């Protein structure tokens, strides 16, 4: 007996399960903000309305203040430290550049949509994706730094001179 196409697991569900429910997406964002120790309050009403400044504050903190490892990584990739002082549009141009080219994130929104009210879920997911990627990158950089410094501390014994362990 064949299973009807309407029964069974939907293979597309995992691809789309994170969109379509603004409240659930807002909850994901709140959880991500707690995990990155976001110091400000999260105005959920403004976020659900798609107010751009809510999301700019989050992206500002996450990229430039939540992780020294990531901040230094960005600066080493020629991101100007004065990026945080740019006007809103130029700041977001840099954020989109960073997300796409340095973090490998494809925002689900275009920059002109970012500054409009609405598109709340796309803005929330951009923030959630950025928080997750920054946390992962920070951990990767920390591990790499730790490995590099531990390799420098290994001192080979002179008693091994002339052996295959040299």
- Residue range 61-102, pLDDT digits in tens: 999 999 999 999 999 999 999 999 999 999 999 999 999 999
pLDDT confidence of residue 20:
84
Range of the domain at 50: 22-139
C-alpha closest to that of 138 among 81, 55, 74, 68 = 68
Q: How far is CA 20 from CA 6, 16, 110, in A?
A: 20, 8, 18
Average pLDDT (48-61) is 97
What's the chain's Rg over C-alpha atoms?
A: 22
In this structure, is residue 101 part of a structural domain? yes
In this structure, is residue 17 part of a structural domain? no
Q: How many Cα atoms sit within 13 Å of 12 on the Cβ side?
A: 4
pTM: 0.78
pLDDT confidence of residue 146:
83
- CA atoms 102, 142, 139, 37: torsion sign: negative
In this structure, is residue 11 part of a structural domain? no
The answer to whether 129 touches 60, Cβ cutoff 8 Å, is: no
Number of structural domains found in the chain: 1
In this structure, is residue 55 part of a structural domain? yes
In this structure, is residue 114 part of a structural domain? yes
Count the Cβ atoms, other than its own, within 10 Å of residue 10: 12
Q: How far is CA 13 from CA 10, 21, 161, in A?
A: 5, 13, 61
Average pLDDT (4-9) is 49
Q: What pLDDT, in 10s, does the model give residues 112-154? A: 999 999 999 999 999 999 999 999 999 999 998 888 776 665 5
pLDDT confidence of residue 148:
78
In this structure, is residue 40 part of a structural domain? yes
- Main-chain dihedrals φ then ψ at residue 91, nearest 5 degrees: -60, -45
Q: How many Cα atoms sit within 13 Å of 74 on the Cβ side?
A: 26
């Amino acid at each position: 007996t064949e299973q009807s196409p309407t029964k069974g697991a939907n293979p597309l569900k995992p691809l789309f399960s994170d969109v379509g429910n603004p409240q659930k997406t807002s909850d994901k964002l709140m959880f991500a903000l707690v995990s990155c120790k976001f110091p400000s309050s999260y105005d959920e009403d403004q976020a659900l309305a798609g107010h751009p400044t809510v999301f700019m504050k989050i992206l500002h903190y996450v990229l430039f203040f939540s992780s020294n490892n990531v901040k230094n990584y960005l600066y080493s990739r020629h991101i100007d430290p004065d990026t945080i002082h740019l006007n809103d549009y130029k700041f977001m141009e840099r954020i989109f550049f960073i997300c796409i080219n340095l973090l490998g994130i494809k925002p689900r929104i275009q920059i002109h949509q970012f500054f409009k009210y609405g598109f709340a879920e796309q803005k929330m997911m951009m923030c959630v994706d950025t928080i997750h990627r920054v946390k992962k990158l920070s951990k990767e950089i920390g591990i790499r730094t730790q490995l590099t410094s531990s390799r420098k501390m290994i001192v080979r014994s002179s008693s091994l001179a002339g052996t295959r362990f040299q």
